[in-house]
C-alpha cells in the first residue's frame, strides 16, 4: 500500500497526482490511498509527516519505505522494489 499524504493547497502534490494515477494503473496489485493532511491531521502526525507530498509504503501494516517530495522516479523505484518483494514471497 502507498499512502499519499498531501494537501489541496500543495503545488507539488498536484504535480504528483497524474503520476500516482499512472502508477496505480501500472502496479495493479498495489493499493494507492490519498490522504489530505488538513482533513486528517492526527493520521499525518501518527506517521510523522512533516513535508508534502510524503509517500509512505506499507507492507502488512508496517512502514517499509517512504519518499518525501515530488520525487516521481524515486517513488516508482521503491514501489517496484517492494512490489517485487511481495511477489517473491
Q: Which of 3, 10, 37, 49 is catalytic?
A: 10
Residue 88, domain member (yes or no): no
Strands (E), the chain: 2-6, 32-36, 54-59, 62-68
- State yes or no: pLDDT of 77 exceeds 50: yes
pLDDT digits (tens, 9 = 90+) for 27-64: 999 999 999 999 999 999 999 999 999 999 999 889 99
* pLDDT at position 83: 83
Residue 49, domain member (yes or no): yes
Determine whether 40 is an active site residue: no
Q: Which of 2, 3, 13, 70 is catalytic?
A: 13
- Please state the domain count of the chain: 1
Angle in degrees, CA 70, 10, 43, rounded to 5? 90
Determine whether 13 is an active site residue: yes
What CATH number is associated with residue 39?
3.40.30.10
Residue 89, domain member (yes or no): no
Predicted TM-score (pTM) above 0.85: yes
* pLDDT at position 85: 60
Domain that holds residue 52: 2-83
- State yes or no: pLDDT of 87 exceeds 60: no
Half-sphere exposure (Cβ direction) of 22: Cα atoms closer than 13 Å? 9
Amino acid at each position: 500500500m502507498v499512502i499519499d499524504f498531501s494537501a489541496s493547497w500543495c503545488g507539488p502534490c498536484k504535480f504528483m497526482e497524474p503520476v500516482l494515477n499512472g502508477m496505480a494503473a501500472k502496479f495493479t496489485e498495489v493499493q494507492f490511498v490519498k490522504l489530505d493532511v488538513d482533513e486528517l491531521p492526527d493520521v499525518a502526525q501518527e506517521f510523522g509527516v512533516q513535508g508534502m507530498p510524503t509517500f509512505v509504503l506499507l507492507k502488512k501494516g508496517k512502514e517499509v519505505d517512504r519518499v518525501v517530495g515530488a520525487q516521481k522516479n524515486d517513488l516508482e523505484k521503491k514501489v517496484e522494489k517492494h512490489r517485487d518483494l511481495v511477489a517473491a514471497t
